[in-house]
A and B are shown apart, each in its own frame.
Chain A
Amino acid sequence: MSTAPLVPEHELPDTHYLNATYGSGRSIRAWLLTTDHKRIALLYLASVTVFFFIGGIFATMIRIHLLTPGGALVSPETYNKLFTMHGVAMIFFFLIPSIPAILGNFLIPIMIGAKDLAFPKINLLSWYIYLIGGCFVLYSFGTGGLDTGWTFYTPLSSIYSNSAVTPAVIGIFINGFSSILTGLNFIVTIHTMRAPGMTWFRLPLFVWAHYATSLVMILGTPVVAITLLLAGLERMFHLGFFNPSMGGDPILFQHLFWFYSHPAVYIMILPAMGVVSEIIPTFARKPIFGYSFIAASSIAIAVIGFFVWAHHMFVTGESTYAALAFSFLSYLVAIPSAIKVFNWTATLYKGSISWDPPMIYALGFIGLFTIGGLTGLSLACLGLDIHVHDTYFVVAHFHYIMVGGAVMGYVGGLHFWWPKITGRLYPKALSRFAAIVLFIGFNLTFFPQFILGYLGMPRRYHSYPPEFQVLNVLSTAGASILAVGYLLPMLYLFWSMRYGKVAGPNPWPATGLEWKTDSPPPTENFHVTPVVDWEPYDYRNRPDLGLAAGGPLAPAHGDD
């Protein structure tokens, strides 16, 4: 920037949550026994990243294998294990905890002006439960892996599979309680820990999104826990709940499984929507358009999301009338989702947009989520679903939601709050470049899969007819670009923790309470309990942000 910096150079606060002494000092022990929600968030960040890498390695092997029609890398049996372990690692151990347990954990207490979550010890416990569950799953991966698909359909998982299903089921069962406890902690915290003046309709939309997410976590997770427990007991002790040869019903397993696992998609996407709802007004320098509609649509998605599960089962021979009802209800989810997209776009309209890295991720999210959402509508349509069921069309659709949506939101959120978490900024030009690489790599990987699926390539097959090779090679090429898009932020974010420019309390600037405290925040989050007397995202009436009223807006403080 040619202009002189409007904000003076900053210094890190002397004591903050990263260097404060907790009883026994700065040792490893002070980290492993911490009850500070900010430190626990970082513990989650480290462990979730490990699982992201593990899942990523499996994804890489899948894409390399599919370079040639006959399969380039592994045996058919191993291929079955690769996509199963990719799904298990990514869904249960990366996507579900990613935004809630890292960003939500770090930010919710600060955003509502509290010193910590309501139950700090339970928060730490939930991280240990996650680790124990993770160890069981890693044990399963290490002792031959499992080949049932991440959905664990019976009777394959309970009787026929010869792979290490039992430890994986136990691991996911245990991990479920981590998710339940996190959701419980968030709901109680949002109800009882808000600072004076922080009314429900002054809550940041990120908090509303996490409230909705937590509802899904506490209502859905116990059902998948009992379902996997029953399937596991069936495998271990020859019980018969889902075993057709004893009169049990395998379709019942699918109903119970999807009763959680469809809403689980909203556990992944709702927090990402919350992140985007924070980023968009910040870099459009405008109050968010339709605050109450965005807040209510989060709750609506969580509620309606519980009544659509059987759209995963249109080809199981379920009653046509049930299928019609579930198809209709699935269409209904599109309404609150579209409300969000329209409100974000309306916020951008006539905004003073700055192209900071988090904004590029947020805009990427809106585009990719829209594609993922619209193709979801195609899949909710009974006739079309029977045509493309279990093809790469479905694979592409849910990767647009989960990777294009949830992971874009997660990485964007990390970029947005990184200065708050570490107190330092990352190189802006490089991170803009990484965001664009990510966007291009993602589309190149998954758009060809829509075409492949529409042409009839089934998912979960280790080989394919030669005429599909071009599109598969494109997809693999895209995956390698995508990998660069993930590795770059990992490198420069890590680098910035030590060498990045000091950010100051509010580098963007943004309106939330979290930007009113130090970066990194002190252990108690605020030196004095804040009193909230302003409306959310109120850029017009916040002289403290240093934005010029009416005229061109001040550039964000940065290093370019």
Chain B
Amino acid sequence: MHRTGELYGQFQTLEQQKESSTLGMWIFLVTEVLFFGGMFLTYTINRHQYFTAFGIGSNTLDIKLGTINTGVLILSSLTMAMAVWSAQVGKKGLVTGFLIATLALGTVFLGIKVVEYKQKFDHHLIPGHGFDVWYQVDNTKPETEMGKKLLDDEREELHKATLTDPDIQSHAQLYFSLYFAMTGLHALHMIVGAGLLIWLIKLSMRGRFTPQYNTPVEIVGLYWHFVDIVWIYLFPLLYLIDRHR
């Protein structure tokens, strides 16, 4: 189909084109909800069944990094929303700026995620033959009294958990199976989002987005917000369970 200006040949008007693109992205997001939904269901059923093991798993996560990442993502949603707004009011320079900021924040999130994943490898928390929830307690040499006390508390918790759930080594692996599948798939969506942002930044630097034509910014924005919302669910479900002690 031939294109005249911003209007693709299969459409009659720009409004029809915009309506189609927006509806298409919303429908895509519906499929994404069901895609993640299968994993959230698996999580819910397993956590209900093996709460002790999930609590142990959750306590190994680095809550500081998780919180920082949550903040980073919320901030990136703000900059994305600002990019959409700038495009709608025709501030071309701001569009590029906010898109670059969003991309930068997304990259920070992924970087922190890499650090967290590496920790899990170091701590023998990857499901498989080397998996051992005791590894961290048994192989850390505390340097301060405070550190020793924390380690003793942790050992105590693990003993208690093993009494409630003798097969905790297996069940904790279920937690980490879900942790890696869910955060991994989320990270994959972030990478796709980053690719889309790079595409938008290129278009934006050529000054393509105007108050009349800014649908790409808007629908990538929808996608970006959706990926953020997934994390808003993942964070409490993975990091914040059984933290009361």
Contact = CB atoms under 8 A, between A and B. Distances in A.
**Bound together:** yes
Interface of A: 35-36, 114-120, 180, 184-185, 187-189, 191-193, 218-223, 225-227, 230, 233-234, 237-241, 245-249, 252, 256, 529
B1 interface: yes
Interface residue SS majority, chain A? helix
A247 B170 contact: yes
Q: Which 9 A-B pairs have the closest CB atoms?
A: A239-B177, A226-B38, A222-B35, A116-B10, A222-B34, A118-B20, A246-B170, A192-B20, A222-B31
B236 to A, nearest CB: 21
Contacts of B171: 246-247
Contacts of A115: 1, 9-10
B16 A239 contact: no
B145 interface: no
Nearest to A184: B27
B181 A193 contact: no
A191 B20 CA distance: 8
B31 A240 contact: no
B23 A191 contact: yes
Given A241-B178, A246-B171, A249-B49, 20 more contacts: A116-B1, A120-B1, A184-B24, A219-B30, A221-B31, A223-B37, A223-B38, A226-B36, A226-B37, A230-B42, A230-B181, A233-B181, A239-B180, A240-B174, A241-B177, A246-B174, A247-B46, A247-B171, A249-B46, A256-B38
Given A192-B19, A240-B127, A248-B46, A219 B31 contact: yes
A120 B46 CA distance: 42
Given A226-B36, A230-B38, A240-B177, A180 B10 contact: no
A188 B27 contact: yes
16 contacts: A36-B1, A119-B20, A187-B23, A187-B27, A188-B20, A188-B23, A192-B16, A192-B19, A218-B31, A221-B31, A222-B34, A223-B34, A223-B35, A241-B181, A252-B45, A256-B41
Interface of B: 1, 8-12, 16, 19-20, 23-24, 27-28, 30-32, 34-39, 41-42, 45-46, 49-50, 127-129, 167, 170-171, 173-174, 177-178, 180-181
Contacts of A187: 23, 27
A234 B177 CA distance: 9
A226 to B, nearest CB: 4
Given A230-B38, A246-B171, A114 B10 contact: yes
B175 to A, nearest CB: 10
